[in-house]
Chains A and B, each alone.
Chain A
Amino acid sequence: MFLDLVRFELSYQMRQTLVQVATLAFFVLGFFLGFSLYGGPDVYANAPFSIAYGMVLLSLSSFFGLALFTANTVLRDRTFGMEPLIHTTSVGFFPFLAGRLVGLVTIVALVSALAVVGMALGSLLPPMGGRELGPFRPAAYLIGYVAIALPNILIGLSLLFCIAALSRGQIAVYVGGIGLFMAYVFAGVMTNSPIMAQSKPLSADETSWAALLDPFAVFPLFDQVRFWDLTAKNTQLIVLEGDLLANRLLWMTLALMLCCLAFRFFRFREGALAGTSARVVTAPSAAVKADGFGPVAPVKPDFGRGFAWQALRSKVGLEMRLMLRGVPLVVLSLLCLFMFAMVLSEEMGRGDMGVPFQARAALIVAELQEPFRFIGPLVLVFFVCEWCWLAREHRIDAVIDSTAVPAVVLWAARWLGAACLISYLVTLAVVVGLGYQLVRGAGLGDALVYLRLYSLVGFPLWFFAGWVIALQNFVSNKYLGMLAGGGLLLVGRGLRQLLAIHNPALDVLFFPNIFYSEMSGGGYALTADVWLMALHLGAACLVAVPTLLYLRRGAKRKAFGANRAAAWLGATGAILTLTALLMVFYQTQIEAPFPGPAEREQWAADYERNYRHLATVPQPAYRRGKVTVDLYPERRAGIVKGEYSFVNPGSEPLREITLSAIPFCGTVPQVQVERAVRKTYDARFGVQTFVLDEPLAPGAEGFLNFTMKLQFSGYGPVDGEFYILPGASYLELSKYLPNFGYAAQVALGGNAARRRQGLPPKEAWPERATESARPWFAMELIASVPDDQRVLSLGRLAREWEADGRRYSHFVQDQISDHWFALAAGHYAHQASEVDGVAVSVWYHPDHEANVATMAAATRDALTYYRERWGDYPYDQLRIVEIPGFSRRFGATSYATTIFAVESRLFVLDQRDPEQFDMVYRTISHEVGHQWWGGLLDPAPAAGARLLTEGLCEYAEAAVFAQKYPWSQQQRLLDESTARYFYMRGYDAKAEPSLARMGAQIHLAYFKGAHAMHLLAELLGRDQVDQRLAAFFAQYRFPAQPHADDLLAVLLDGLEDPVRRRLEEVFSEVVTYDLQLPRAEREAGTSQVRVSLQTVVSRAGEVDPLTPLTLEWRALDADGKPLGAVQQAVVKPGWEEVLWTVPRAAVALEIDPRRLYLEPDRSDNRRLIVVP
């Protein structure tokens, strides 16, 4: 009996078009996923780890299909009105339901297995983005399927099955499906899994919780590979053990329980939860009255003006009541509210180092947009399709379709319904946003910013709804239509990627960048977004035309009555699309041409091929520059003029000079060199060569001038280093002006891109750079903006005046160690003070005062410390200038006398809680440090240079910070830095160099750098270090060009082992440790504790079994406070048991409390003392 049921179920399913199409769709999906597998930079596209992650994505995408399958399987009796027939047969409910479930599971397992086959095939193609392909390993797919995909799918399935069986409502199942996606978002946000924006390392406790609670095993997966190096990531198979195994077991048990729940409460009775119970009203026949009424007076219908509108209102009203009522919508709303609240409290409440952001709408809207990317299209596809089928499913379509209501009303009612649903969801988000602001004690003065959510989330979703409605009209099965709606997104994106069209604005569903800067008073794209949205609206109108002409009405397709509306829509759509296309074309190709990513890559590669040789050709250097900049922020335009003098710093006369200017927005600056003729001019690369009338003798001076136009359009990705916006602008100008020789900074960075372009891997920095004489650069800048704004740049403000409604500022800066300057413009308030003759000022947006005092204090403290200890600060200015959040890729950047600090990274941090880590203070100290390290002392462009800049600034910030904050605060930063170092090195393709030989690696310069500087300070003491740094600074300040070895020579001078050894190790070698204290047992009745120690030392990847190490340890009391002094012990690598004498009150032991060893996992360094 049961087997018959299963057999029937299977053969029934196999014959369903939905199942057949879905099978195909899943195969294609798998293929596409396989083609775009990604496990991180330089990880093989088909590395087991990438595959495992692909499985997560596969299972995630499958939930959509699962919801359809489940609804189709469990609810089909209801949909087709078969319930009374089925439920009165002799089949017991158990075999009935079990038959359905087994059938469902079998189908789903088969279909997903097929998707995995698709994935395997897809991953055989040359992967996207020039990623490398490892050997094909079927085992990796099998393990991924069994350990990740299948369990995930079963979890989703059991939940949906349970919902379907108990509620027997379609909408409930969809809401369940949406809930699954939300669970993924929750899990991502809660566990900070690396796929979500940024990953914040968790503590050991948090890690094991997160690993268990993540229903889709993303976290345990990433946790398993966390410390794998690149080779391991590329070759090692994922193992079903430890946290991953526990996670899978836990969730499979839960899945089973859900199924049991379904069986326990499922009954053959009319709909349980859906509220559609058919309590039949029967007519009491006694009440029947005899006839005798007057005739029913006909009422003349009026199909004139306004009829369509009235009908539309009535229809939308009725359908809203039908759809947006009932338990599922309440559940959906609650889920959304919960999700929004969760996202906000996590993303706004815990930024870098756990410091919260101020609850400002400008930041909140960006966080709220994120969940809509997942949930928005899903909700739309489900609900809009349900809408389109509403009348047909309730079999009232014949009645409605035979009325005189115009087709356009039937169509518009759906589109308007979608609008209502979207507005409702966005409003939920806004309510959560406002609530969050209130809870955090922020005002609601900026509530208008939430309108951006309606426009930049609501409209795109609404345009997409137009496509969904069109699809539903032409697909003859609701679930197929849903599948098609979901498929449209994937296929659209897939096609775009296959065709290498990189512009995401061409996706069917395109969300503009919503990020809002209070400084600029708007977003980045401005009118660009308006035009792109007009384009999408136009497209939505155009797809509405065939929908209207062939609107399904009864069994009829062609609706003649709709012609006028269709013509109207077609015309609107065509006009909108065309105008928008023309506008976009004009603005991106003619007014301010900007290359797409592919063009940009090609450009950079060609530039490198053509001009690489310039790097070694002697060139002059700028000595003096006078730059005028006129900004027209409303037009996003500007004009830059420059008059420069240059010298020949070399020892040979120069005949020919070459200038490169990155052609920004297509304008190559017009350069004139005095007493020289232009020999070549390459407009594509902005490279021009001049032959001097007379060779420029060593030390001799020449002159040039240029004019350059700036025009920004707002299309394409945000360039955080160069933008003009109506409210605020930031220009790292010197980079874009004509510079001598080869512009190395534009060379392609990523290895994948270089391979794609057939370029050799980027050359490592040379061991030693050849000395070249360098002059100081002296700058004068005269900048003008409309008089409600002001410009801020480097140096002394010599003069300021207003003329013709514009404000002019004249800055003078005599000594910069390079041709290196930037400027910002905006509406500023400022606070000024003086520190020993240096004018310290902070310029900020009038509404961003909260952290200004901290910044001023940090500047003062840092300036005082560095001047006292290392050497004098030669300028009379030090200013901090706020720049818009569009530059948030960096927190702050330091130029001579001026530090530009980013709005959203520092100014709007919420540092009111004194327990919080003082991010503002710390960052500003770091940037002030750059006035010395990187500014006044400018290292040779060779390997290890960043040790002298970022490395020493890590020391600088820690030194100032330690004066003000206790060890516990510093320790938090150290632990975080270490965690990031270990995380990032796992993705580094090259063999890791030592600090003294590092290139541009962030994880070395900042994160290992922080540890190295900490060790230095702990071993030598800050006074010692400062004295040595002072000596180093004095000897090597500009124009000298020191190397890392020069610093090490000074730092290690005269030091003895073991201190010397440890410092050499941290600076000149690659050594990591793993210290463990697995056991501590008190010897009965004594103060001795028997301790087991496990230590692993790895030097350049090899385990060192020999060299003993000096380990510090200390005892802790019941509150975790240190008891007594730190003790030392010398231990051999490997396993060792020792006896330590501890105070009587000691409850626990900790090894290496001062963090002198660099190790990935410190959670096992503490152990409670066991008392036998």
Chain B
Amino acid sequence: MLSITNLCKTYPNGVRALDGVTLDIGTGIFGLLGPNGAGKSSLMRTIAALQEPDQGTILWEGADIVRYPHLVREILGYLPQDFGVYPRISAEALLDHLAVLKGVRDKKARRRQIDALLERTNLTQHRRHAVAQFSGGMRQRFGIAQALLGEPRLMIVDEPTAGLDPEERNRFHNLLGEIAADITILLSTHIVEDVQNLCGKAAVLAGGRILTEGRPDHLVAQLKGRVWRRTVESGSLATWRERVTVLSDRLEAGRRTIRVLADSSPGAGFEGCDAALEDAYFAALQTQGTEVGACS
């Protein structure tokens, strides 16, 4: 159980990346959604004890892991959003090294776990290749494998599926689902669908604040009957934005469709539609007043 209270972090350059974040995260997968620069990675790095918050507490099973970072390090599996590797070192050797650093000391057990992980991330055939020469997706899979070394009870994965092909993404989701039963997984992503599929709970983060938080189906349920859509002229988008709360607009088969949040039908031409998690996400951003650009 990870409980975060009133976490604040301002970088030396003045950017306030976390602004009073309070979250309780239990076992299972917890999704963290948010636009670029929302502070997701900052939050994750802070939990992983890679930086200190200016304010606030982070407790892991009741213990203060800001003050005692080794407590979190001992149970952590961390996949950074962006990472590199040593040159000229094979996947196997690097995993072995990292396993030792993570306390997997028995040689045989280490061997076995590394084999299994390589298998699960589909890297077995490249085990002897230098990781530095992997393709982007393969490197990401390597990152996933290293995060699973040992016996992590808290996993922090920062955009783990970025760069993965659909097949590998599925594979990864399965893997996560399997292990999520007993451990806490904090996952950040921009892909709302992933959250929907995977996460027991999710939060939307923007500008360093938690905008909304809860089970994905609950978040969707809150919007039931409040989402409307219609097709509009491309040029009239700005006018619509002034008139109604536009959640998103997208080009569908050459025509522009907007989705609008409103307690009752906002006018002629709008038809009610099922709310999706994406709508909840945009709705949350709207409440914060964040400028939301066109999405996919």
Contacts and interface: CB of A to CB of B under 8 A. Distances in A.
A887 to B, nearest CB: 54
A208 B48 CA distance: 67
A398 to B, nearest CB: 4
A296 B120 contact: yes
B61 interface: no
B69 A560 contact: yes
A298 B48 contact: no
Contacts of B89: 318, 321-322
A295 B78 contact: no
B73 A404 contact: yes
B278 interface: no
B150 A301 contact: yes
Contact of B80 (A299, A394, A398): A398
A310 B97 CA distance: 10
Given A281-B134, A296-B117, A325-B88, A554 B103 contact: no
Interface of A: 275-276, 278-283, 285, 287-289, 291, 293-303, 306-307, 310-311, 314-315, 318, 321-322, 325, 390, 394-396, 398-406, 553-556, 558-561
Nearest to A307: B103
Nearest to A407: B70
B292 interface: no
Contacts of B259: none
Contact of A310 (B45, B105, B129): B105
B126 interface: yes
A280 B52 CA distance: 37
Contacts of A404: 70, 73-74, 76, 101-103
Given A395-B83, A395-B84, 16 more contacts: A276-B87, A282-B138, A287-B122, A298-B113, A298-B179, A299-B110, A301-B74, A315-B101, A398-B83, A400-B98, A402-B49, A403-B76, A405-B101, A553-B49, A554-B51, A555-B52
A306 B125 CA distance: 33
- Top 6 A-B residue pairs of the complex, sorted by shortest distance between their CB atoms: A554-B50, A301-B103, A395-B84, A298-B151, A561-B70, A404-B73
Nearest to B52: A556
Interface stretch (B31-39, B170-178, B199-207, B245-253): B170-178
A276 B86 CA distance: 10
Contacts of A275: 88
B109 to A, nearest CB: 5
Contacts of B49: 402, 553-554, 556
Nearest to A393: B84
A299 B150 contact: yes
B50 A555 contact: yes
B67 interface: yes
Interface in B70-101: 70, 73-74, 76, 78, 80, 82-89, 93, 96-98, 100-101
B68 interface: yes
Interface in B40-64: 45, 48-52
Contacts of A390: 86
B98 A311 contact: no
Contacts of B125: 287
B234 to A, nearest CB: 34
Nearest to A300: B151
Interface of B: 45, 48-52, 67-70, 73-74, 76, 78, 80, 82-89, 93, 96-98, 100-106, 109-110, 112-113, 116-117, 119-120, 122, 125-126, 129, 132-135, 137-138, 143, 146, 148-152, 165, 167-168, 171, 174-175, 178-179
Given A275-B88, A293-B116, A285 B70 contact: no
Contacts of A296: 113, 116-117, 120, 148, 175, 178-179
A276 B101 CA distance: 25
Contact of A394 (B87, B122, B179): B87
A321 B88 CA distance: 9
Contacts of B84: 394-396
A223 B143 CA distance: 64
A395 B82 contact: yes
A299 B138 CA distance: 24
Contacts of B97: 314-315, 318
Nearest to B149: A299
A563 to B, nearest CB: 10
A560 B151 CA distance: 23
Given A299-B150, A314-B100, A406 B70 contact: yes
Nearest to A271: B87
B236 to A, nearest CB: 39
Contacts of A300: 150-151
Nearest to A313: B100
Contacts of B105: 301-302, 306-307, 310
Contacts of B103: 301-303, 307, 404
Contacts of B70: 404, 406, 560-561
B295 to A, nearest CB: 27
Contacts of B179: 295-296, 298
B134 A291 contact: no
B133 A280 contact: yes
Contact of A303 (B74, B119, B120, B152): B74
A278 B148 contact: no
B34 to A, nearest CB: 19
Among B82, B88, B101, B117, residue most surrounded by chain A Cβ atoms (within 10 Å): B101
Contacts of A293: 116, 119-120
A310 B100 contact: yes
Nearest to B126: A281
Contact of A403 (B86, B102, B106, B119): B102
Given A285-B167, A295-B179, A406-B70, A556 B104 contact: no
B133 A279 contact: yes
A298 B150 contact: yes
A314 B101 CA distance: 8
A554 B45 CA distance: 9
A396 B171 CA distance: 24
A299 B113 contact: yes
25 contacts: A275-B88, A276-B88, A283-B122, A283-B135, A287-B125, A288-B122, A296-B116, A299-B151, A301-B102, A301-B150, A302-B104, A302-B106, A314-B96, A318-B97, A321-B89, A322-B86, A322-B87, A322-B88, A395-B84, A396-B85, A398-B48, A403-B76, A554-B49, A556-B52, A560-B68
Nearest to B41: A398
Nearest to B167: A288
Nearest to B108: A299
Contacts of B152: 298
Among A283, A288, A405, A556, residue most surrounded by chain B Cβ atoms (within 10 Å): A283
B290 to A, nearest CB: 26
B80 to A, nearest CB: 4
A275 B129 CA distance: 15
Contacts of A276: 87-88, 132
A403 B52 contact: no
Nearest to B110: A299
A399 B146 contact: yes
Contact of A398 (B45, B171, B174): B45
Contacts of A394: 84-87
A1059 B205 CA distance: 109
A399 B87 contact: no
A276 B131 CA distance: 12
Contacts of B113: 296-299
Contacts of A294: 116
B85 A403 contact: no
Contacts of B146: 399
A405 B101 CA distance: 5
Nearest to A275: B88
A556 B69 contact: yes
A301 B153 CA distance: 11
Given A298-B150, A299-B151, A403-B101, A398 B50 contact: yes
A830 to B, nearest CB: 63
A800 B102 CA distance: 73
B73 A281 contact: no
Contacts of A295: 178-179
